[in-house]
Amino acid sequence: MAAADPNVSLFVRPLGAVEKNPTALKLILGAKLRELRLAAGLDPVDVDSRLGFSRSKTSRIELGRHGCKSADALALLRLYGVDGEECIAEFLHLVDQSRRTDWWHSFSDVLSDFLTPLVALEGAAERIRTYEPFYVPGLLQTPAYTRAVVQAGPGQLLAHDVMRRVDLRQERQRQLDQPDAPRLWAVIDESVLLRAVGGPDVMRAQLEHLVKMMERPRVTLQIAPLDVTAAVGVGTGVTCLRFALSDLKDAVYIEHLTDSTFTQKPQVVEEYRNMLDRLGACALTPAESLAVLRERLLAC
């Protein structure tokens, strides 16, 4: 098997926001180990056997589902012919970074399983594209608006649980304040502006917040008139995550009534990306959308 060039990094640098995201790092490290294994002409069963791993451990590591220990990573790199000390040191440093606790773990009491993949990776994205047919997108909601949305949801929640969900959404929004924050491109259905979620005062404050957020250079907001959304055929909320690094595949999050779908399958991601392209092309421009928001504010 051919040894890796000891003078070349195994990764495309810089990693940017990805390096601060343990979930994203696990996926990148797993993908890199899979690439090295294939180059070495080995299959996962061979690796498990040679290194004394439990069954399917190699596959779980490559999928980013199993936290890779430094000792395991070193054994894998040696097996795959990586002998450059700088490469190995860099890899093991990222392994250590990937074993940190994600910020969202502190919200595990209120974070649903189906939302976790989106929350875990959105901060590492280069671009977040989202369409919402019923509510203002979560990353653009005010605390009062979020509280009203949560309280209107299924089931009776204690006040503490409602506030925890509001805090979680606010924490997600803080990622947009980072120097390497994702670019947010959001399209909302025109009907969202007509729903006085939480009452007139809450809705007015929410509209004012949208106007303010549109001043940010990394935020783009468009409003899709009713005839546009009917023509494009979007029936549910969709969020696409685009990553700058080729080692991390783009993803799509699709909302359903009681759960969601999160996938990185290229054909599915491409289908929804094309749909968002069509929607954005037909929606009002950001300038036209800003004018509509201001008109709506005057009507409140």
pLDDT digit string (tens) for 7-59?
456 765 667 778 889 999 999 999 999 999 999 999 999 999 999 999 899 99
| Mean pLDDT of the 102-130 span | 93
* Same-domain check for residues 111 and 89: no
Q: Is residue 9 part of a domain?
A: no
Looking at residue 278, its pLDDT comes to 92
Domain final residue pick, 81, 98, 115: 98
Question: What ranges in the chain are assigned the alpha helix state H?
Answer: 22-39, 44-51, 57-62, 70-79, 85-98, 116-122, 143-151, 159-174, 200-213, 226-232, 266-282, 286-299
Task: Considering only residues 148 and 86, tell me which one the structure prediction assigns the higher pLDDT.
Answer: 148
Rounded distance between C-alpha atoms, residue 164 and residue 172, angstroms: 12
Residues 181 and 259 in one domain: yes
DSSP 43: -
Range of the domain at 58: 16-98
- Chosen domain end from 71, 98, 125: 98
Give the integer Cα–Cα distance in Å for 250 and 263. Answer: 9
In the chain, the amino acid numbered 112 is S
Q: Looking at residue 270, what is its pLDDT? A: 95
Residue range 206-227, pLDDT digits in tens: 999 999 999 999 999 999 998 8
pLDDT at 233: 65
Q: Are 245 and 18 in contact (CB under 8 A)?
A: yes
Model pLDDT, residue 257? 67
pLDDT band at residue 4 using 50, 70 and 90 as cut-offs: very low
273 pLDDT tier (thresholds 50, 70, 90)? very high
Residue 3's pLDDT is 46
Greater pLDDT, 258 or 248? 248
pLDDT at 76: 96
Over pLDDT 70: what percentage of the chain? Answer: 94
- Side-chain-facing half-sphere of 105: CA atoms under 13 Å: 8
- pLDDT at position 251 is 96
Q: Looking at the 3D structure of the chain, how many domains does it have?
A: 2
CATH number for 59: 1.10.260.40
According to the model, what pLDDT value does residue 38 have?
95
Axis crossing angle, helix 200-213 with helix 286-299, rounded to the nearest 10: 150
| pLDDT for position 272 | 93
Average pLDDT for the chain: 90
Same domain as 65, residue 151: no
Nearest CA to 21 among 168, 127, 120?
A: 120
Amino acid identity for residue 13 in this structure: R
195 and 143, same structural domain?
A: yes
Task: For residues 78-95, give the mean pLDDT.
Answer: 91
Q: Are 226 and 281 contained in the same domain?
A: yes
Structure tokens given for 1: 């098997």
Q: Which residue has the higher pLDDT, 178 or 267?
A: 267
For the chain, give the longest Cα–Cα distance.
71
Give the residue from 68, 98, 128 where a domain finishes. 98
Q: pTM for this one? A: 0.89
Same domain for 127 and 84: no
Question: At residue 242, does pLDDT exceed 60?
Answer: yes
Average pLDDT over residues 259-283: 92
